[in-house]
Amino acid sequence: MANRNLAEAKRAKNDEFYTQYADIEKEINAYLEYDPDTFRGKIVYSNCDDPYESNFFRYFVLNFRRLGLARYIATSYKPSPIANTQLDLFGNDITLPPAKGRPKIAANRFIINDVGDMDGDGQFNLGDIARQLLANTNNEWAPLRGDGDFRSDECIALLAQADIVVTNPPFSLFRDYLAQLIDHHKQLLIIGNMNAITYKEVFPLIKEDRLWLGATGAGKDMVFAVPEGFEVDDKDKQKAARLGYVGNYTRLGNSNWFTNLDHGRRHQPLSLMTMADNLKFNKKMQGKTAYEVYDNYDAIEVPYTDAIPSDYEGVMGVPISFLDKYNPDQFEIVGTLESNDPDNACRTRFYTAKECRDAYMARFGKPGVYDLNASGVIRGVKVFKRVLIKQRSA
Ligand SMILES: C[S@@+](CC[C@H](N)C(=O)[O-])C[C@H]1O[C@@H](n2cnc3c(N)ncnc32)[C@H](O)[C@@H]1O
């Protein structure tokens, strides 16, 4: 029981990473460049977002009119360790006292129907929203009955109203979170870990072009704020500091945006060399006279995205970071080399338990099991995660 509580506490703590305003702005700008009306007339919902800390709330409220939103909804989560504790987002001059009968720490819903210059300073800012919320004019700030779990009935009722869901959800619940949005046929723009691409619940969506990577930051370091007292690895702290974020920040490699909103980057073709030219001129392919072929798939191994040959018509295994460059008009995704792609038509063989044990012994010189069926294999050795693709024109 104690262990379970500890694991639960650790999980909850690892879910508390707060997105930076600049990252949200950069990503959303990419959609606006492609289609300035992406958000026009839409209801946007951030369902893991406490306005006291969420830059998503801040971004959508401050840009409400520019984006042409019809409504913006945010709900907060009561068990969050920082629920209702970080007041400065609204400006130091504004404190939001709990209204009569409103519990101090609660999950709340915030429904913004309009923004305007309430304090008459000629500028709209978050202080204005705080005043509007307190005055309960066109906007609403009310406690939720439950704890604000995105899976609760009252949050699902708000989700039903929404056109587009935009947030950074709890990392530990990414699968459930995404599944809920897909089941409700929502447009979405959310942050997740690049590795989620190969999850069995996620990959089929990518393959069917129902989900793709966002426009910015894929596979690069993203910096997140963490609650006061959260222990950050020195290495990550320093990296965040080098990116200009000093203090309670960490960086997470491999974070990226997942979306089903269209953007310009996915329509830019990747410029490629022929197979012969890659073997001759691509430094990363030096020393090779041919592309290798998998022992267990009818496909060639392409270890780098920039080594994809322009003139190969068959199936190619490419690193998952390729998806950051993926243009659906240029390529078709046909599968992965992971075990979670059981219907893969390119698979040419399965290994027996004995072969898996023998391969481990051959590689590591001690007994163990090398799960050869869970990846591509070249001359008995597993390769890194790969996505299988084919040129569209082929
Ligand atoms: C990765 S943080 C991101 C917070 C905020 N969206 C942002 O980007 O700055 C995820 C947030 O979801 C909250 N959360 C955790 N479990 C949740 C749940 N079941 N329902 C709703 N929110 C949850 C956490 O408390 C945390 O504040």
How many Å lie between the centroid of ligand 1 and the Cα of residue 27? 19
The stretch 23-46 carries a mean pLDDT of 97
Residue 87 has a pLDDT of 46
For residue 92, what pLDDT is reported? 47
Kindly report the protein residue whose alpha carbon is nearest to atom 22 of ligand 1: 48
DSSP state string for 17-72:
-EE-HHHHHHHHHHHHHH-TTTTTT-EEEETT--TTT-HHHHHHHHTHHHHT-SEE
Domain coordinates of the chain in residue numbers? 2-265, 268-391
- Cβ–ligand 1 distance for 376 under 6 Å, the answer no
pLDDT tens, 74-119?
999 988 776 666 545 555 444 555 555 555 567 889 999 988 877 7
51 lines ligand 1 (CB under 6 A): no
Q: Which of 132-146, 152-166, 210-224 has the highest mean pLDDT?
A: 152-166
Q: What pLDDT digit, counting tens, does each position of 322-333 carry?
A: 999 999 999 999
d(CA 378, ligand 1 centre) in Å: 41
pLDDT, tens digit, 9 for 90 and up, residues 339-363: 767 778 899 999 999 999 999 999 8
Look at residue 12 in the predicted model and tell me its pLDDT: 66
CA angle 363, 364, 366 (to 5 degrees): 125
Looking at residue 5, what is its pLDDT? 65
- With a 6 Å cutoff on the Cβ, whether 147 touches ligand 1 is no
pLDDT value at position 131?
77
Beta carbon of 202 within 6 Å of any ligand 1 atom = no
Ligand 1 contacts CB of residue 391 (under 6 A): no
Q: What is the pLDDT of residue 220?
A: 73
Q: How far apart are CA 377 and CA 313, in angstroms?
A: 21
Residue 268 in this model has a pLDDT that exceeds 60: yes
158 in Cβ contact with 76 (< 8 Å): no
Residues of the chain above pLDDT 70, percent: 89
